[in-house]
């Protein structure tokens, strides 16, 4: 999978949806800000948790968004791999497959950075 292309297409699709349903988009953005910007955990920790959930629910766009965020927040490949290891432990074989996808996304995005 080409993650750059995939995320570009995902963003295009989201823009179209947000235009078609602006109130839902505003509501989701407010929910996201509330979860992200408040509480005792730092943002990198919250993004690591989000990546774990993305892998366990098999949400490819979510994997891409959270990997990109983790790169911006200065996460290391080792931190990402540690979280992915927990996903495998909790989710077994299906999580193993998505953990491999998430690490591939990391490697591709980092090669372009």
Residue where the block lists tokens 């993305």: 54
Task: Give which of 13, 72, 41, 111 is closest to 103, Cα–Cα.
Answer: 111
Residue where the block lists tokens 């995320």: 7
Tell me the pLDDT tens digit for each residue of 47-91.
999 999 999 999 999 999 999 999 999 999 999 999 999 999 988
Tell me the pLDDT tens digit for each residue of 1-36.
999 999 999 999 999 999 999 999 999 999 999 999
CATH 3.40.50.11540 fits 3-112, yes or no: no
């Amino acid at each position: 999978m080409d993650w750059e292309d995939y995320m570009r297409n995902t963003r295009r699709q989201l823009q179209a949806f947000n235009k078609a349903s602006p109130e839902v988009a505003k509501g989701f953005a407010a929910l996201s800000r509330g979860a992200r910007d408040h509480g005792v955990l730092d943002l990198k920790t919250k993004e690591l948790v989000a990546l774990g959930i993305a892998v366990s629910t098999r949400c490819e766009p979510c994997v891409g968004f959270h990997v990109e965020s983790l790169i911006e927040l200065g996460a290391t490949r080792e931190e990402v791999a540690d979280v992915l290891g927990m996903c495998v432990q909790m989710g077994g074989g299906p999580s193993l497959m998505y953990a491999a996808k998430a690490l591939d996304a990391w490697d591709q995005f980092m090669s372009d950075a």
